[in-house]
Amino acid sequence: MLYALLCYNNEAEVFSWTKEQDDAVMAKLNVVHEKWEKAGKLKPSLRLLPTSAATTLRKKDDVVLDGPYAETKEQLLGFYIIDVSGLEEGLAFARELTAANPGGAYELRPIMLYNPGA
Amino acid sequence: MSELGWIEPAINAARPQAMGALLRYFRDLDTAEEAFQDACLRALKNWPKNGPPRDPAAWLIMVGRNAAIDAVRKKSRLTSLPEEDQLSDLGDAEGAAVTALDEGDYRDDVLRLMFICCHPDLPSTQQIALALRIVSGLSVPRIARAFLVGESAMEQRITRAKAKIAAAGVAFETPGAVERAERLAAVAAMLYLVFNEGYTGPGGETDARGSLCDEAIRLTRILLQLFPSEPEIMGLLALMLLQHARAAARHDAAGEIVLLDEQDRRLWNRVMIAEGLALIDKAIRHRTRGPYQIQAAIAAMHARAETPEDTDWAQINLLYAALEQETPSPVITLNRAVAVSKAYGAEAALDLIAPLTERLSAYFYFHGARGNFLMQLGRNAEAREAFNKAIALANTPAEAAHIRRHLDQLSAPKK
Q: pLDDT tens digits for B242-299?
A: 999 999 998 888 777 788 999 999 999 999 999 999 999 999 999 999 999 999 999 9
- Residue B221, chain A, CB below 8 Å: the answer is yes
What pLDDT band is residue B69 in, cutting at 50, 70 and 90? confident
The string over B330-365, giving b where at least 16 C-beta atoms fall within 10 Å of a residue's C-beta and e elsewhere, is bebbbbbbbbbbbbeebeebbebbeebeeebeebbb
Tell me which chain B residue has its CA closest to the CA of residue A11.
Answer: B13
Q: In a mutagenesis test of the A interface, which of B59, B219, B281, B287 is the best target, namely the one with the most A β-carbons within 10 Å?
A: B281
A82/B203 Cα distance (integer angstroms): 43
Q: What pLDDT was estimated at residue B308?
A: 95
Comparing B228 with B91, the larger pLDDT belongs to: B228
Q: What pLDDT was estimated at residue B3?
A: 55
Q: With a cut of 80, say whether residue B103 has pLDDT above it.
A: no
Cα B17 to chain centroid distance, Å, stands at 19
Tell me which chain A residue has its CA closest to the CA of residue B53.
Answer: A10
A20/B45 Cα distance (integer angstroms): 25
| ipTM score assigned to the predicted complex | 0.93
CB-CB under 8 Å, B275 with A110: yes
* Structural contact between residues B300 and B277, judged by C-beta atoms closer than 8 angstroms: yes
pLDDT digits (tens, 9 = 90+) for B219-232: 999 999 999 999 99
> Could you say which DSSP state residue B249 is in?
G
Q: What pLDDT was estimated at residue B81?
A: 54
Cα B137 to chain centroid distance, Å, stands at 15
A84/A93 Cα distance (integer angstroms): 9
B221 CB neighbours in chain A (<8 A) are 15, 50, 52
A50/B224 Cα distance (integer angstroms): 11
Rg of chain B over all Cα atoms, to the nearest angstrom: 25
Q: What pLDDT was estimated at residue B83?
A: 57
Rg of chain A over all Cα atoms, to the nearest angstrom: 16
The Cβ-side half-sphere exposure at B29, using a 13 Å CA radius, reads 24
Residues of chain B with pLDDT > 70, as a percent, come to: 88
Q: In a mutagenesis test of the B interface, which of A52, A55, A56, A107 is the best target, namely the one with the most B β-carbons within 10 Å?
A: A52
* Structural contact between residues B367 and B407, judged by C-beta atoms closer than 8 angstroms: no
pLDDT digits (tens, 9 = 90+) for B132-153: 999 999 999 989 988 888 999 9
Ramachandran category for residue B169: left, alpha or beta (phi over 0 → left; psi -120 to 50 → alpha): left
CB-CB under 8 Å, B279 with A52: yes
B222 CB neighbours in chain A (<8 A) are 12
* Secondary structure (DSSP) of B114-147: HHGGG-TTS-HHHHHHHIIIIIS---HHHHHHHH
pLDDT digits (tens, 9 = 90+) for B345-396: 999 999 999 999 999 999 999 999 999 999 999 999 999 999 999 999 988 8
Cα B89 to chain centroid distance, Å, stands at 38
Q: What mean pLDDT do residues B121-135 have?
A: 91
DSSP alpha helix (H) spans, B345-396: 346-353, 364-376, 380-393
Cα B281 to chain centroid distance, Å, stands at 21
> Which residues lie closer than 8 Å to B169 by C-beta, 6 or more apart?
none
Q: In a mutagenesis test of the A interface, which of B102, B221, B272 is the best target, namely the one with the most A β-carbons within 10 Å?
A: B221
Q: What pLDDT was estimated at residue B90?
A: 47
Helices B380-393 and B397-411 pack at an angle, to 10 degrees, of: 160
Q: What mean pLDDT do residues B57-71 have?
A: 90
CB-CB under 8 Å, A50 with B285: no
- Closest CB to B13 among A16, A24, A111: A16
Among candidate residues B117, B247, B126, the one with its CA nearest the CA of residue B188: B117
Cα B252 to chain centroid distance, Å, stands at 24
Q: What pLDDT was estimated at residue B302?
A: 96
Q: With a cut of 70, say whether residue B36 has pLDDT above it.
A: yes
- Residue B109, chain A, CB below 8 Å: the answer is no
CB-CB under 8 Å, B222 with A10: no
* Residue B176 DSSP SS3: coil
pTM, full prediction: 0.89
B12 CB neighbours in chain A (<8 A) are 13, 16
Which of B52-66, B85-99, B248-262 shows the highest mean pLDDT?
A: B52-66
Phi, then psi, of B14 in degrees rounded to 5: -85, -15
Amino acid at A40: G
CB-CB under 8 Å, B285 with A87: yes
B281 CB neighbours in chain A (<8 A) are 86-88
Q: With a cut of 90, say whether residue A77 has pLDDT above it.
A: yes
Comparing B162 with B257, the larger pLDDT belongs to: B162
Q: What pLDDT was estimated at residue B89?
A: 46
**β partners of residue A107:** A56
Q: Which of A33-47, A51-65, A89-103, B100-114 has the lowest mean pLDDT?
A: B100-114
DSSP alpha helix (H) spans, B201-290: 207-226, 231-244, 270-284
Phi, then psi, of B4 in degrees rounded to 5: -105, 15
What pLDDT band is residue B414 in, cutting at 50, 70 and 90? low
Q: With a cut of 60, say whether residue B307 has pLDDT above it.
A: yes
Over chain B, what is the mean pLDDT?
A: 88
- Closest CB to A16 among B1, B9, B234: B9
Q: What mean pLDDT do residues B173-188 have?
A: 90
Q: In a mutagenesis test of the B interface, which of A62, A66, A95, A111 is the best target, namely the one with the most B β-carbons within 10 Å?
A: A66
B56/B44 Cα distance (integer angstroms): 12
- Residue A16, chain B, CB below 8 Å: the answer is yes
What pLDDT band is residue B200 in, cutting at 50, 70 and 90? confident
Tell me which chain B residue has its CA closest to the CA of residue A87.
Answer: B281
Neighbours of B225 (CB within 10 A): 19
| C-alpha distance from A112 to closest chain B C-alpha (Å) | 6
Q: Which of A5-19, B1-15, B364-378 has the lowest mean pLDDT?
A: B1-15
Q: Which of B196-205, B332-341, B395-404 has the lowest mean pLDDT?
A: B196-205
| C-alpha distance from B276 to closest chain A C-alpha (Å) | 8
Q: With a cut of 80, say whether residue B340 has pLDDT above it.
A: yes
Q: Report the DSSP pairing between strands A55-58 and A111-115.
A: unpaired
B133/B139 Cα distance (integer angstroms): 7
Phi, then psi, of B254 in degrees rounded to 5: -85, 0
What are the boundaries of each domain within chain A? Answer: 11-115
Architecture per CATH, domain A11-115, reads as 2-Layer Sandwich (3.30)
- Closest CB to A52 among B1, B5, B228: B228
Q: What mean pLDDT do residues B169-189 have?
A: 87
- Residue A52, chain B, CB below 8 Å: the answer is yes
Q: What pLDDT was estimated at residue B98?
A: 47
Q: With a cut of 50, say whether residue B88 has pLDDT above it.
A: no
Comparing B298 with B125, the larger pLDDT belongs to: B298
What pLDDT band is residue B84 in, cutting at 50, 70 and 90? low
pLDDT digits (tens, 9 = 90+) for B308-338: 999 999 999 999 999 999 999 999 999 999 9
Q: With a cut of 50, say whether residue B96 has pLDDT above it.
A: no
